[in-house]
Structure 1
Amino acid sequence: MHRRFLGLTATVAALGMTVALSGCGSSGSGGEVTLKLVAADYDPEGGDSTKRYWDGVATAFEAKNQGVKIDVTVHDWKDVDREVAEMVAAGKAPDIAQIGAYADYAAKDQLYSVDDLLSIPVQANFLAPLADAGEVNRVPYGLPFVASTRLLFYNETLFTRAGLKAPTTWDEIGSAAAALERRGVKYPFALPLGTEEAQAETMMWMLSAGGGYTDAVGTYQIDSEPNVRAFDWLKDDLVGKGLTGPVAPAKLNRKTAFTAFADGEVGMLNGHPSLLQQAEKKGVEVGMVPLPGPNGKPESSMGVADWMMGFKQNGHREQIGAFLDFAYSDDNVLEFADQYDLLPVTVSASEAMSEDAEHKKLWPFLEALPESTLYPVDKTSWAKVSESIKKQIGSVVGPDGDPAGTLGSIGREAMATENAE
C-alpha cells in the first residue's frame, strides 16, 4: 500500500543515546571477527567519498571494539542490489548490507530482526513512519539508513533568460521545455529512465498523475489509467517532441543527468537533495518546486528511504548489532546527511537539521516528508519488481513504445511474482 510519512516526531527512550559497545568481539567465535559490509555509493560525481565515510566509521568502531574488524565494499547504485543478491545466492552473504530493499531476504528468514540487533535507545530514535516501513508482518527487519524526498529542479538562470516561471502543470512543463529547446538548451527536460534508478523516475510521474505502484489496499496497479496517462504524456509531449535531450531516456542514468544539470546543460529534471550541493559547486542557481500534476498540485510526491540489514548466515549477531548501534550515533548520521545533503532518519538528527540555518536549503525536502509516498518496500516481491521496471520502462517512451502494453506486462509480472512469494 502507499506508505505516507505522517509526521516527524517520535519518542526517544528516556535512558538516552549512549550505547555500551565493549566486549562484543569476544562473543561467539572466541577470536577476531571480520564483518563484511556492502554499501551503496552516494557520491554524485563518482568519487570515493562514500568508501571513505564507511572506512572512517569502521576505523572509529574498531578502535573501541578490539577483536572486530569491518571489511567495507562499496558498489554503484546500479549494481549494489544485484551484487548482494548474487552473494546471498552463492551462500556468501555479507554480514551487513546497505541497499534498496530488504523484504525478500526477511521473508526467507535470512535477516536478523531489528529487535535482535539494536539497543532500545537506538531503535526508539528512528522516525516512526520510517521504522514502520521496515516491517514485514509487523516484525522490523529493515533499518532506515537515509531518506530523501524529490522535487522538480530547474535552472533559474536558463529560466530567467527564457522569461519562464516555475511550471505548475504538465502543459507548463511542456511549454517551458519547448522554449528552452528553442534557445539551444541541451537537455530541456532530462528524463533518466536508464537502469540506475528508473523505478524512482517512474514512481514520481505515476504519483504526479494520481497513480502509483499500488492501490489503497496494497495491490499492484502498475497499469492503472493514471499511470498509463503519465507515460502517454511523456512519450508524446516530451520525448516525441524532442524535448529530453540527445540521450534517449532508456540510456540516460540519474548520475549522468545530475552531472549535466550541474554543468548547466539541463533546464529541468526531478532531483533529490544531493543535487543541490553538486549544482552549487558549479555555480548553478537552482529553483525547486513539487513536480506538478496534469492540472496542478498532485496528491502526493515521492519519498525514499534506503535500507540497512543484518544477515544471519555468519552468526555474528552481537558484533553486527554493536556496529549498527555505533553507526547510528548522531555524529555519524549527521555526517553522512551533511556530506550528501540528504535527510537523516533519526528523530534527534532530524530535529538538529530542522533547527540549523546552515541546512535551510534542505528544509523544503523536510517539509515534503509528511505527504510523501514510499516504494512498497514491505512487499517481498518489490526487489524483483523494481529490477523489472529498471529493465523495461525506458522503452515505453521510445518511438515504438507502448505505455499501456508494457505497463500491463510489468503489472502482470509483478502480480505473478507477488503470488509466488
Structure 2
Amino acid sequence: MKGRYLSLAATGAALCLTAVTLTGCGTVQGLTGNNEVTLRVVAADYGDNPQNSSTTYWKDLASSFEKTHPGVNVEVSVYSWTEVDAKVAEMVKAHKAPDIAQIGAYADYAGAGKLYSAEELLSVQTEADFLAPLADAGKVGQTQYGMPFVASTRLLFYNEKLLTDAGVIPKDTKGGWQPKSWADLEAAAKKLKAAGVQTPFALPLGREEAQAETMMWMLAGGSGYTDNEDSYEIDSPENVKTFEFLRDKMVGQGLTGPVEPGKLDRQAAFDGFARGEVGMLNGHPTLLKQAGGKGIKFGMVPMPTADGTDHPTMGVADWVMAFKNGHKTETGKFLDYLYEAKNVTAFTGKYDLLPVTTSGYRAMEAATGGSAPQLKTFLTALPTARLYPVGKKSWAGVSEDVKQNIGKVVQPGGRPEKVLGDIALAARKADAGR
C-alpha cells in the first residue's frame, strides 16, 4: 500500500536470496555457462521485524518456481520501503535494471520505454484476473505496464482504552466511537493530551510514506493530488486549508506527540500505537496484526472529514513491473506463477493486505476466520477508493518532492500555500515534460 499503500519498512540492508549464484568470468547478462537464465528480482519488505520479513516469502516462491521450471533461476533482493525505490532507480541509471521490480511506481519507467507491457508477459487468464480499477491504474495511455501486487485502503485506528480513560468514549458505550469531522478529532486529541497520553494523534509525514498520509488528509479536506480531469491540484484552496488545520490545530496545540511530524515515519507511528502510546492514527490492514499481537484493543472508523460529509477514502496499490532485459518469456512464466491464487493469498494472508485479483477478492469475502472480518471493512472500500495518480510519468518525482518537503508545512510558521505551490509548480512542469 505503498504507497507504497502499503508498505512496512523492516530492514535497511538488502537480503539477497540466491538460488543459483552467478560466478566466474564471462557471464553475460542473466546467462550462466550452461545457458540457464537467472531472473533478478528486487522487492520491498512488508515485515515489521526480521522474523516476519518478506524475505521468507520470496525465498519459498523462488525455490518452488525453480523446481517446476528447470533452467530458470531466480535471484531476489529485498529492501526496506525507505530505500527500495531509490535502489531500483540507481540500478536503472547504471544500466543494470532488474528483470522484475516490486516497488511503488512504474509510470516513469514505462514512459521511458523500459518496460514490457502486461499483455506481452502474462497469460490471458492472469491478465483478466486483476481487479478492474487496479488494472486501469496500471495503465499509461491505454497500455498496462504496472501490475498490481497488493492493495490496501485506510481507516482511522483508535486505542479503545486510552479514549475511554480520557472520557472520549463513555464507559457504558458499546457501539464504539464514531467521529465525523475534524472538530471531533481535535476534541478527542485534546482530551487525550489532558489525560497524559504521549501522542494523542500520530501524524507521520516522514520520508517513509509521507505521500500517503498527505493524500488521506487532502481527500478528507475535499481535494486531492489531482482533480477529476487528472490535472494536478496540489495547491488547491482546500488543500491549503487542510494543512493550515494540521499546522494550527493539531501540531500547533501539541496534539501530535514529541516527534516532529516531518521526522516521524509510518512504521515508528505504528510501533507507538502497538505499545499503547498513541491514541489515534491513520492505518492500513497490516496494523491489525501488529497491534492485535501486542494485546491492544482498538477500533477502526472511516477517516473524519473537514466538514463531516462523506469523501472518498484512499486506496494504495504497490506495483510489479518487468524491465526489457531480453528475458520476456521467462519473466512472463514467473509472473504467471506469482499471481496464482495460492501465492497471492499466501502473501496477503501473511501481512493482512488486500488482494488485487478477482479470485483473491472473492476468497477474502468468503473467509470467516482470523482477521478476515476486520479486513472486510477495508475490502469493501477498495473498488471505489482513490489511488495515487500512478499513471502519470511525473508521479514518482512528485511523490519524492512530497516526501522531502511536506513536513515543512506543519512546522511552526510553516507556509502551506508556498510549500504546496512549489510542489504543484514542479509537478505541472514535469507533467508537461518541461
TM over 0.5: same fold? yes
* Equivalent residue number for residue 85 of structure 2: 81
In the aligned structure 1, how far is the partner of 2:335 from the partner of 2:120?
A: 12
Aligned Cα root-mean-square deviation (Å): 1.5
* Relative contact order higher in (CA < 8 Å, ≥ 6 apart): 1
1:352 to 351, 363, 366: 363
Shift, 1:48, TM fit: 5.1
1:330 to 341, 344, 348: 341
Number of residue pairs matched by the alignment: 395
Shift, 1:163, TM fit: 2.2
In the aligned structure 1, how far is the partner of 2:238 from the partner of 2:70?
A: 56
1:271-293 per-residue CA deviation (whole Å, 9 max, x = no partner) reads 00000100000000110111111
Superposed, 1:67-216 pairs within 5 Å as 67-164=71-168, 165-216=177-228
2:82 alignment partner, SS class: helix
Q: Does 1:382 align with 2:386?
A: no
In the aligned structure 2, how far is the partner of 1:29 from the partner of 1:401?
A: 59
User: Which stretches of structure 1, 4 residues or more, deviate above 6 A after TM superposition?
Assistant: 26-30
2:401/2:423 contact within 8 Å kept: yes
* Equivalent residue number for residue 21 of structure 1: none
Q: Does 1:275 align with 2:287?
A: yes
1:45/1:259 contact within 8 Å kept: no
1:299 alignment partner, SS class: coil
The runs of 5 or more residues in structure 1 that have no matched partner are: 1-25
Shift, 1:213, TM fit: 0.2
1:192/1:254 contact within 8 Å kept: yes
Shift, 1:27, TM fit: 11
The runs of 5 or more residues in structure 2 that have no matched partner are: 1-29, 169-176
Letter in 2 for 1:397: V
1:186/1:245 contact within 8 Å kept: yes
Pick closer, same or farther for the CA change 1:28–1:134 going to 2, 3 Å: farther
In the aligned structure 1, how far is the partner of 2:293 from the partner of 2:49?
A: 11
Letter in 2 for 1:294: A
Letter in 2 for 1:327: L
In the aligned structure 2, how far is the partner of 1:370 from the partner of 1:174?
A: 30
Pick closer, same or farther for the CA change 1:414–1:374 going to 2, 3 Å: same
TM-score, with normalisation over the residues of structure 1?
A: 0.92
In the aligned structure 2, how far is the partner of 1:185 from the partner of 1:73?
A: 40
Deviates more, 1:382-391 or 1:288-297: 288-297
Q: What percentage of residue pairs aligned between the two structures are identical?
A: 55
Superposed, 1:199-348 pairs within 5 Å as 199-312=211-324, 314-348=325-359
Letter in 2 for 1:395: K
In the aligned structure 2, how far is the partner of 1:384 from the partner of 1:47?
A: 33
2:135/2:144 contact within 8 Å kept: yes
Shift, 1:49, TM fit: 2.1
2:239 alignment partner, SS class: helix
Letter in 1 for 2:351: Y
1:290/1:297 contact within 8 Å kept: no
Q: Does 1:372 align with 2:390?
A: no
Deviates more, 1:364-373 or 1:100-109: 364-373
1:374 alignment partner, SS class: coil
In the aligned structure 2, how far is the partner of 1:297 from the partner of 1:249?
A: 26
1:184-228 per-residue CA deviation (whole Å, 9 max, x = no partner) reads 111100000000000000000000000000011111000001111
